[in-house]
């Protein structure tokens, strides 16, 4: 049991998205299956201020924690305390907290599909419906604090090879990995990644390479950043500047006239281009799959007759499981997933406002904005 009585946290009190550093009570273990983690790093989501602005919108789709609130979606640290019923996790373990929380008793939870839970909630970010309010009561601590509670079965063990800064990137890496799995990416497959220079898209590119994809076709707007992406693996990565020509013709040329086995759309909502996503259907081979992971916010017209005749699939992929997070650790430890390209921009907890301003610049996927402690 810790002797701590208080801890520091960056909290928001209104819809402005400004953080105030405050001293609050140290967390308590509410359940015997919970742990307390001493946080070492937390990722900063560029869209966070937009999420917080929903406090001013009574009809917002997203469910937010009651104010004052502690945000911070992706947190990594060291286990400080464990509940009496916790096995397999011990004090001192280096972990990533997968923030996906479910109620544990609805139909989806009972059949092992927790991501489809009616109360599914991102600890330290937002929930997907009114039932998320109950989840926040149990897990109110986001990554922008010194300590956080979490269920033991929500932890990914980082081992000794994965840095806390990389762990704080797992939300993006895990989302990309889950999408690639749904797309059927594997050895010998060809995949096209839209928005491949962004935080989510670069992760998808790196992981597709680790998964053995034969050709990785990367589409984005920034020619200079695209060149950096291609340099990661010039033999397997080909790049295309969005809007520079016929993307479908280029994709067919790169794949011997067949087309890509899969498209992963990783364009962020704030930069979503409906036309690029629409054009991506023409890049697919017969029987190909388009998986959406970037939250394309515009309506995309789809020719259902063409979809049927070409046996194409469109799949929405939300977040990732603890098991998929553990896969990422294993790939990093094995050396198949190389995350050395990330450039960490680190800030202290006292600099939370500066960290968010940096993340909002959206300087590209190579930059990893992290609050470290």
Query: Domain ranges in the chain?
Result: 6-169+342-372, 176-316
Residue with tokens 């034969």: 214
Side-chain-facing half-sphere of 268: CA atoms under 13 Å: 19
Q: With 80 as the cut, is the pLDDT of residue 60 above it?
A: no
- Tell me what the mean pLDDT of segment 140-152 comes to: 97
For residue 59, the model assigns a pLDDT of 62
Which residues does residue 63 pair with via DSSP β-bridges, in sequence order? 127
| Cβ-proximal residues to 285 (8 Å cutoff; 6+ apart), any chain | 255, 258, 259, 260, 261
Q: Average the pLDDT over each of 189-193, 262-266, 268-272 and give the range with the smallest value.
A: 268-272
Closest CA to 140 of 23, 51, 27, 4: 27
Q: With 80 as the cut, is the pLDDT of residue 2 above it?
A: no
User: Cα–Cα distance between 144 and 196 in angstroms, integer?
Assistant: 28
To the nearest 10 degrees (0 to 180), the angle between helices 223-232 and 199-210 is 20
Assess whether the region 6-169+342-372 and the region 176-316 belong to the same CATH fold.
no
Q: What is the pTM of this model?
A: 0.96
Tell me which of 3.40.50.720, 3.10.450.50, 3.10.150.10, 3.30.470.20 is the CATH number of domain 176-316: 3.40.50.720
Cis amide leading into 125 (omega within 30): no
For residue 297, the model assigns a pLDDT of 79
For residue 269, the model assigns a pLDDT of 77
Hey, what are 346's tokens?
Answer: 């680190």
User: Cα–Cα distance between 153 and 100 in angstroms, integer?
Assistant: 11
Side-chain-facing half-sphere of 53: CA atoms under 13 Å: 4
Side-chain-facing half-sphere of 247: CA atoms under 13 Å: 26
15-59 pLDDT tens trace: 999 999 999 999 999 899 999 999 999 999 999 999 999 999 876
Q: With 80 as the cut, is the pLDDT of residue 272 above it?
A: no
Q: Which CATH architecture has domain 6-169+342-372?
A: Alpha-Beta Complex (3.90)
Which residue would you say has higher pLDDT here, 348 or 303? 348
């Amino acid at each position: 049991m810790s002797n701590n009585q208080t801890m520091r946290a960056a909290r928001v009190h209104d819809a402005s998205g400004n953080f105030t550093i405050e001293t609050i009570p140290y967390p308590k273990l509410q359940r015997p299956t919970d742990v307390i983690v001493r946080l070492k790093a937390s990722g900063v989501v560029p869209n966070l201020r937009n999420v917080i602005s929903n406090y001013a919108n009574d009809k917002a789709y997203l469910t937010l924690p009651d104010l004052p609130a502690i945000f911070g979606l992706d947190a990594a640290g060291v286990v400080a305390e464990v509940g009496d019923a916790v096995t397999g996790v011990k004090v001192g373990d280096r972990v990533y907290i997968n923030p996906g929380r479910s109620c544990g008793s609805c139909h989806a939870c009972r059949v092992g599909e927790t991501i489809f839970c009616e109360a599914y909630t991102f600890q330290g970010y937002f929930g997907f419906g009114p039932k998320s309010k109950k989840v926040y009561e149990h897990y109110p601590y986001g990554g922008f604090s010194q300590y956080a509670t979490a269920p033991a079965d929500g932890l990914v063990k980082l081992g000794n090879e994965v840095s806390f800064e990389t762990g704080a990137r797992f939300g993006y890496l895990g989302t990309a990995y889950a999408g690639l799995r749904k797309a059927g990416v594997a050895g010998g497959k060809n995949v096209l990644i839209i928005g491949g220079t962004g935080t989510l898209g670069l992760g998808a590119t790196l992981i597709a390479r680790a998964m053995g994809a034969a050709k990785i076709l990367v589409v984005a707007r920034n020619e200079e950043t695209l060149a950096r992406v291609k340099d990661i693996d010039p033999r397997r990565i080909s790049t295309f500047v969005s809007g520079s020509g016929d993307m479908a013709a280029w994709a067919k040329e790169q794949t011997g006239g067949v087309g890509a086995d899969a498209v992963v759309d990783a364009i962020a909502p704030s930069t979503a281009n409906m036309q690029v996503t629409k054009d991506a259907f023409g890049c697919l081979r017969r029987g190909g799959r388009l998986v959406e992971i970037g939250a394309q916010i515009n309506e995309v017209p789809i020719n259902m007759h063409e979809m049927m005749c070409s046996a194409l699939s469109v799949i929405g992929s939300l977040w990732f499981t603890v098991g998929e997070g553990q896969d990422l650790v294993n790939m990093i430890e094995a050396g198949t997933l190389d995350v050395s390209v990330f450039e960490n921009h680190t800030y202290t907890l006292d600099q939370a406002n500066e960290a968010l301003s940096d993340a909002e610049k959206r300087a590209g996927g190579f930059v990893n904005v992290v609050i470290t402690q």
